[in-house]
Amino acid sequence: MMSRVQKGLVAGFVATIAVSVLEIANLMLGPWAASFPRLLSVMLQMPDTMAVGWVAHFLVGTVVLGPAFGILCPRLPTDTPESKGIVFAIGAFILVGLTVAPMVGALGGRPVGMFFMQAGFGTFAWMIATHAVYGIVLGNVYGRLVQRDKRVRSMEGAAPAH
């Protein structure tokens, strides 16, 4: 059985892949909004190195947000894992949009503004949408892992003693 942190890592990785598919589609079809990996590369003061943005995107989505969700999930309001995921992911967006994004310019990087608004309203809307998708997938996968562990535990309890 996996711990909540381990379940969060797995769920965060799957959710990051789901959002990455959307980001790639956005890049191939337009783009009509700045991608999160692009914004991360700008924030990390490497705007010409998208690979850095993609690595940061996977690290944050998998190693930071996934385990954090695993820890916080039982305490989040709402009843379903998917709605807990949305609350968590939009909360993370608000936290980053109010703190990290505005500080980038003050720290010498290219300013992206509060909630990345320097990139335009389309990017703001894209960030909300992709964070909601991330949260839905995160919660769904996490919830399935919790259910799997419950089934395993109940089967172990029902197994005949040898």
Does any domain span residue 161? Answer: no
Distance between CA atoms of residues 128 and 58, nearest Å: 18
Domain that residue 36 falls in: 4-151
Does any domain span residue 117? Answer: yes
Distance between CA atoms of residues 140 and 124, nearest Å: 24
pLDDT at 77: 94
Distance between CA atoms of residues 42 and 32, nearest Å: 17
Does any domain span residue 116? Answer: yes
Sign of CA dihedral 135, 152, 67, 13: negative
At residue 3, does pLDDT exceed 80?
yes
Count CB atoms within 10 A of the CB of residue 153.
11
Q: What is the pLDDT of residues 132-162, one digit of tens each?
A: 999 999 999 999 999 999 999 998 876 565 5
Show Cβ contacts of residue 16 under 8 Å, excluding neighbours closer than 6 positions.
Answer: 57, 58, 61, 62, 66, 134
Does any domain span residue 15? Answer: yes
Q: What is the pLDDT of residues 85-114, one digit of tens each?
A: 999 999 999 998 888 777 765 545 556 777
Q: What is the pLDDT of residues 12-60, one digit of tens each?
A: 999 999 999 999 998 888 777 877 888 788 778 787 788 998 999 999 9
Does any domain span residue 159? Answer: no
Looking at the structure of the chain, the number of domains it has is 1
